[in-house]
Structure 1
Amino acid sequence: MKVKRVVGRIFVYLFLIIAFVVSVFPFYWMITGMTNTAVDVIKGKMTFGSHLIDNFKVLFTTYNIKRIFFNSIKISVLTTVGTLIISSMAAYGFEVYSSKAREKTYAAIMLSMMVPFAALMIPLFKLIVKFHLINTHAGLILTSLASVFIIFFFRQSFKSFPKDIIQAARVDGAGEFKIFTSIVMPSMKSTYAAAAIYAFMTSWNSYLWPLIVLQTDKQKTMTLLISSMSSAYFPEYGVIMAAIVLATLPMIIIFFTLQNYFVQGMTGSIKQ
């Protein structure tokens, strides 16, 4: 039995080591790549070079990286805040208020998750053109606020929220908006943190819809910049790696800042 346990542990640790290497290697290659020239990256050099400063100089002098980075931050933050507010209020309404058409409406919304985005592009594009929002950040943000998955995620969390607290607040004369903002939201910080990470990453990494909506360089996001850099006649891979590292930093910061809340939110924990 002891031999079997030892062998089992060896296989478990071996699997974990392989998974760790597979997960970390792309990030390591990205870090080393931004310190090397394009030729070194093409050759497959895996050690650190001496061109880190040169690559960042080219990145900041050739491209309007400050404005593009700010565009991505602006779009992602506003989209995330709007998505959290709208989705959480919608989920709260679906869970707290009962009606004959509630579950049918909710089921119809859930079914919309099965519709591929490619089928929605043309109607959405015609919509923003009609309202003169083409090539604007507003057109990109407003069409990205509704998230069916986050509504579903919030409603599942609201199911475990004690309904007696809401009823007691109503008896005390509190309005629904005050109940939601003063009681429900503070008690579900972990759920909001988990949803915020998901919404921010989705918006930050979005490529296809921004490619359609944003048609000038001034409105570009980091994903569009990296894509255009990669499609050059002779891609400067060291500079591209530097841009990718820069684009990765906000997500890393947000995740590590909210990681404790994220774990609690994914497990449905509610602070009482």
Structure 2
Amino acid sequence: MINKLRGVPAYLFLGIWTLFSLFPLYFMAVSATNTSQDVLASRLLPGGELFANIAKLLDAQNVGAAMTSSFLIAAGTTVLALIICSIAGYGFEVYHSKGKDVLMGVLLLAMMIPFAATMIPLFQVFAKLGLVNSLFAVIVPAISTPLLILLFRQSSRAFPTEILEAARVDGLSEFSIYARIYVPTMRATFAAAGVITFMTAWNNYLWPRVILIKNEVQTMPMLIVNLSAGYVTDYGVLMLAVLLASLPTVVVFLLLQRQFAEGITGAIK
């Protein structure tokens, strides 16, 4: 009994901290049902303006096109990044050498370069290729990142080399080993990398703002900024747009949260 009581303060602290963490989400959801004046007054109870705010949002912005653009960018970036970065991480560890350690160090140093320093050269390249206002130009720069390569490399250290040797003896090609053995074994790492990449690509604002000039191909973060860029901002409509933009990332994380925790833990070990 005494041991159980000792855990009460810890659970109480965690419960209070959870409420504080969930409060912004609650306030966002409640604000989407209230008027702009109610939001500014910090009303904490649901209102009856949800359908009115939906009508205003659909009248002001092309939400369907923005959601489609964001989904295509996030899904395309996630799929391509998982393929490229997992192969790179697999190669760095399975075919380990001192030269690859040096190359990995160079990749990690690249993480210290701010994106703003490479944004202008990137824009010039895609402008010369005629890819301005193309979703392809948003996806390509994000499909290979040092963070994901490092994540797969660290996780690959736990991959048993005996399986590789046995597969090679059985006559499997290196690609077959990767596709049929490595990928199923590293499901948790793929889930963790997928969640990180999807959320980053979905919430990305700076580069899409630069390369996607037309509103027809704007993403949800760009749409939200456009809603708040006028002389008068309807905060009820703005909160509704933020809520819609947050739902896909919340759903992806909830579906893969267990695998995400396992993948991150495996990489740290």
Common topology (TM > 0.5): yes
Aligned to 2:118: 120
* Structure 1 position 216 matched with structure 2 position 214: yes
Larger mean Cα displacement after TM superposition, 227-236 or 178-187: 227-236
Shift of 1:57: 1.3
Aligned to 2:253: 255
Aligned to 1:228: 226
Aligned to 2:158: 160
* Equivalent residue runs for 1:135-214 within 5 Å: 135-214=133-212
Shift of 1:70: 0.6
Runs of at least 5 residues in structure 1 that lack an aligned partner in the other structure: none
Shift of 1:119: 1.4
Q: CA offsets, 1:73-110, max 9 Å, x none? A: 00100000000000000111111113442111111011
Taking the aligned partners of 1:58 and 1:84, their CA distance within structure 2 comes to 38
Taking the aligned partners of 2:98 and 2:150, their CA distance within structure 1 comes to 19
Shift of 1:9: 4.4
- TM-score (normalizing by structure 1): 0.93
SS at match of 1:267: helix
Q: Could you tell me which amino acid in structure 1 is paired with residue 112 of structure 2?
A: M
* Equivalent residue runs for 1:1-272 within 5 Å: 9=7, 11-268=9-266
Taking the aligned partners of 2:265 and 2:97, their CA distance within structure 1 comes to 29
Taking the aligned partners of 1:191 and 1:100, their CA distance within structure 2 comes to 25
Q: CA offsets, 1:200-240, max 9 Å, x none? A: 00000101111111101011000000011112211111111
Taking the aligned partners of 1:42 and 1:263, their CA distance within structure 2 comes to 37
- TM-score (normalizing by structure 2): 0.94
Runs of 4+ displaced beyond 4 Å: 8-11
Shift of 1:14: 4.1
Taking the aligned partners of 1:60 and 1:88, their CA distance within structure 2 comes to 40
Taking the aligned partners of 1:11 and 1:232, their CA distance within structure 2 comes to 48
**Structure 2 CA distance for partners of 1:100 and 1:190, relative to 1, 3 Å:** closer
Taking the aligned partners of 1:13 and 1:174, their CA distance within structure 2 comes to 51
Identity over aligned pairs, percent: 41
Taking the aligned partners of 2:125 and 2:95, their CA distance within structure 1 comes to 31
Q: CA offsets, 1:171-212, max 9 Å, x none? A: 111111111001100111111011100000000010111111
Shift of 1:20: 1.5
Larger mean Cα displacement after TM superposition, 190-199 or 252-261: 252-261
Shift of 1:11: 4.2
The count of corresponding residues between Structure 1 and Structure 2 is 266
SS at match of 1:231: coil
Taking the aligned partners of 1:98 and 1:57, their CA distance within structure 2 comes to 58
Runs of at least 5 residues in structure 2 that lack an aligned partner in the other structure: none
